[in-house]
Amino acid sequence: MVEICASAFDRPLREAVNAPKTAAEKLLVRLGERSYPILFGGDGIEEVQGAVADLAKVGRRVAVVTDGHVVSSQGAVIKKMVGEAPTFVVEPGERSKSLEQVGLVLDFLAGERFDRTSVLIAMGGGVIGDLAGFAAAIYLRGIDYIQVPTTLLAMVDSSVGGKTGVNLTAGKNLVGSFHQPRGVFIAPEFLRTLPAREFAAGTAEILKCGLLADAALFDRLAREPLSLASADLSSVIRRCCEIKAQIVEEDERELKADGGRALLNLGHTFGHAIEQATAYRAYLHGEAVAVGLAGAARLSKKLGLIPGDAVATIENALSAHGLPTRLSAPLGMGELGQAMARDKKARVGALRFVILRSIGEAAVRADVPPAVVLEVWAELGAV
């Protein structure tokens, strides 16, 4: 096993990883001195309790950032995990990913007199992970943090890889930092209180993983929609983490021009534009990504890369998981185009799209004619 750097925090994490577990219950993201384990299984309580207790033994304090939904549904679990640790609760939803909110988190940490040995625990969905991770990245120029994702989307995507950040009025995730967590604790038990709509939103990122890197995974999802009752739910979550970990290991900071980590944005160029144009109110992130995946599939067909029956297969799989494949209400192409132009993948003013060469293989293209993009938007319901 690759050795993780020997800070006081790494010791309890290594002890947790080396506890008597099966090989299927742990996964190491290999990034040199920034390597960290993803721990799977159970209800997560024992693992987080152990890490918090061992941190306390070496004098390291912890605090929690979470949201109101998690507190109302999992308050007793939080108490078991972290005891009386200071907890900062934000309003649920994408609108909490703001500079104003991260400032409040920083004030909270300073008010609790947290120092550079302190550890922040992000307990919630993708918004909480991004917000708390960014606060950890910039407080005292960087403190350690742990991800404890409580939504399906966060488990399979946002809790892994170290992208943190907040939104601006101009666009999504335009302010942020690469700041890897020191560990990720994934417990599918958290999903038992997740609303059905949130679970469905998480499946969008799972379908994305299959589309970009694992045709067999996508085929499994196309044959039978994933649900909380699926016997293979845990293994599907793990497979998505494996895919993302491999991509992140090869391109941690999204520097490759021909793909790399940018591939994880399949469906997101369209999806982020939809979120911004609706002020993050009409769609959950996964729902916007689902429409974006339909858009990416249609764009790939127009570029002569995949056949029409592949587009139908993709859209049927999305629909079977309770996800949209069209805009629920018309949006203006001008507004969507402006939002898309601010996409982070743009280089020298040119948009780059993640497209499908086939189901299970994706690529980045920078030579997409604007007229073709407008045709796709029209098919998705834009006006």
Q: Which residues are catalytic?
A: 141, 163, 205, 244, 254, 261, 265, 268, 272, 285
Q: What is the DSSP string of 47-96?
A: HHHHHHHHHHHTT--EEEEEEHHHHHHHHHHHHHHHTT--EEEE-SSGGG
Q: Whole-angstrom Cα distance, residue 337 to residue 333?
A: 6
Tell me the backbone φ, ψ of residue 206, rounded to 5 degrees. -70, -45
Q: What is the DSSP string of 293-354?
A: HHHHHHHHHHTTSS-HHHHHHHHHHHHHTT--SS-SS---HHHHHHHHHT-TT-BTTB--EE
Closest CA to 226 of 205, 246, 243: 205
Q: Give dist(CA 112, CA 25) in Å, integer.
A: 34
Contact 315, 308 (CB under 8 A): no
* Structure token pair of residue 130: 């991004």
Classify 92 as helix, strand or coil: coil
Cβ atoms < 10 Å from Cβ of 247: 23
* CA nearest to 291, candidates 307, 262, 259, 314: 314
**Please, which residues have CB within 8 angstroms of residue 199's CB and are 6 or more apart in sequence?**
152, 191, 227, 228
CB 184 within 8 A of CB 129: no
Q: Please tell me the total number of residues recorded for the chain in this structure.
A: 383
